[in-house]
């Protein structure tokens, strides 16, 4: 309560800050009233949105350090005291590095867990359990299921491979009227480098779209087309295909060079 008043000016002010952040994160089924999370009809969230919130919070280095600390000695009024983390999986299950236990009469026993193995991190959320044992068991099952059944695909590599295949067949088909030089293409930045997929079910589809006729001049970075990546029917990534350089418009001198080339070879350039 004291921290909330200091940061937000009041409990209500702090709740407003929390709700603003929830809105920024796209949490449509989350609403905060208090800083401590005790039962209130207007204070609620979902398992999925707790996972989204946790994923965001883990970007903070201090937060990561705190939730991954199993024991620590602190001084209270000059007296040393050992504080233990209530997360029963921390230090006992391989890879677990956070995050938070919880309990109210309305919510039951809850546990949000982060687990990292071989550079793959998952977040599990268990709510509404009757006992600590149940939340621990359910969380353990979820973690093991995820690592046993899912892997990560190198989406960046797959996109670039499909793009190179398309480029070899299609780059010269793109006609730029009155262009002084040839078009050179490149990809914009790929945001999602890897994605989780269920083992044995690689249901990823890549569509490449382009416009094949333009008129010079073209600015560097002009969008020529795009690559649409779908997982089943969900669009998970769109990457633009762009011009990697300025394409100048032919001037009188360029047309004269073409004319003399034609005279000399008898062929159009």
What does pTM read for this prediction? Answer: 0.76
Q: Which one of 95, 126, 152 terminates a domain?
A: 152
Is the separation of the CB atoms in 180 and 256 below 8 Å?
Answer: no
Q: Are residues 103 and 211 in the same domain?
A: no
Helix and strand totals (H; E) in the chain: 7, 13
CA distances to 85, 96, 145, 146 from 140, rounded to whole Å, are 17, 10, 8, 10
Residue-level pLDDT at 267: 53
Considering the domain boundaries, does residue 76 fall inside one? no
Q: Residue 48 is part of a domain; what is its CATH number?
A: 3.40.710.10
Q: pLDDT (tens digit, 9 = 90+) per residue, 215-257?
A: 989 999 999 999 999 988 899 999 999 999 999 887 655 555 5
Residues facing residue 76 across a β-bridge: 79
Return mean pLDDT, the chain: 92
Considering the domain boundaries, does residue 238 fall inside one? yes
Q: Are residues 8 and 131 in the same domain?
A: yes
Per-residue exposure over 155-176, b if at least 16 CB sit within 10 Å of its own CB, e if not: bbebbeeebeebbeebeeebeb
Note down the domain range covering 20. Answer: 2-70+84-152
Q: Residue 238 is part of a domain; what is its CATH number?
A: 2.60.410
Residue-level pLDDT at 200: 85
Q: How far apart are the two ends of the chain, measured CA to CA in Å?
A: 77
- pLDDT-derived band at 81 (thresholds 50, 70, 90) equals very high
Percent of the chain with pLDDT over 70: 93
Q: How far apart are CA 103 and CA 130, in angstroms?
A: 10
Is the separation of the CB atoms in 110 and 102 below 8 Å?
Answer: yes
Residue-level pLDDT at 132: 96
Average pLDDT of the residues in 135-150? 96
Q: Which one of 102, 122, 152 terminates a domain?
A: 152
Q: Are residues 120 and 173 in the same domain?
A: no
Q: Other CB atoms closer than 10 Å to residue 136's CB: what's the count?
A: 21
Q: Are residues 196 and 115 in the same domain?
A: no
Q: Are residues 202 and 225 in the same domain?
A: yes
Q: How far apart are CA 52 and CA 57, in angstroms?
A: 9
Considering the domain boundaries, does residue 79 fall inside one? no
Q: How many domains does the chain have?
A: 2
Average pLDDT of the residues in 32-56? 96
Residue-level pLDDT at 201: 81
Residue-level pLDDT at 203: 84
Report the sign of the C-alpha dihedral through residues 209, 214, 220, 222, in that order: negative
More confident residue, 262 or 9: 9
Considering the domain boundaries, does residue 78 fall inside one? no
Considering the domain boundaries, does residue 181 fall inside one? yes
Average pLDDT of the residues in 199-214? 91
Considering the domain boundaries, does residue 77 fall inside one? no
* E strand spans, the chain: 71-76, 79-84, 96-104, 108-117, 120-129, 150-154, 175-177, 185-187, 194-198, 204-210, 213-215, 223-231, 234-243
Q: Are residues 145 and 166 in the same domain?
A: no
Q: Are residues 251 and 164 in the same domain?
A: yes
Q: Are residues 99 and 148 in the same domain?
A: yes
């Amino acid at each position: 309560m004291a921290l909330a008043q200091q940061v937000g000016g009041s409990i209500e002010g702090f709740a407003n800050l929390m709700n603003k952040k929830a809105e920024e994160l796209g949490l449509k089924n989350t609403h905060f009233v208090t800083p401590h999370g005790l039962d209130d009809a207007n204070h609620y969230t979902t398992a999925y949105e707790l996972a989204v919130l946790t994923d965001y919070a883990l970007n903070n280095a201090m937060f990561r350090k705190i939730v991954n600390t199993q024991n620590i000695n602190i001084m209270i009024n000059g007296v040393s005291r050992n504080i233990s983390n209530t997360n029963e999986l921390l230090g006992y299950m391989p890879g677990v590095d956070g995050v938070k236990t919880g309990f109210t009469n309305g919510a039951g026993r809850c546990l949000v867990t982060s687990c990292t193995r071989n550079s793959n991190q998952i977040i599990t959320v268990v709510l509404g359990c009757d006992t600590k044992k149940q939340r621990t068991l359910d969380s353990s099952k979820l973690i093991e299921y995820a690592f046993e059944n899912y892997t990560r695909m190198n989406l960046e590599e797959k996109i670039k491979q499909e793009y190179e295949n398309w480029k070899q067949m299609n780059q010269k088909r793109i006609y730029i009227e009155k262009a002084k030089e040839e078009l050179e293409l490149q990809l914009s930045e790929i945001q999602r480098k890897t994605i989780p997929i269920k083992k044995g079910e690689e249901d990823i589809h890549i569509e490449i779209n382009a416009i094949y006729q333009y008129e010079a001049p073209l600015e560097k970075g002009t969008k020529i087309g795009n690559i649409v990546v779908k997982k089943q029917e969900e669009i998970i990534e769109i990457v633009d295909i762009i011009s990697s350089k300025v394409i100048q418009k032919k001037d009188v001198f360029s047309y004269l060079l073409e004319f003399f080339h034609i005279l000399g070879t008898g062929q159009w350039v």
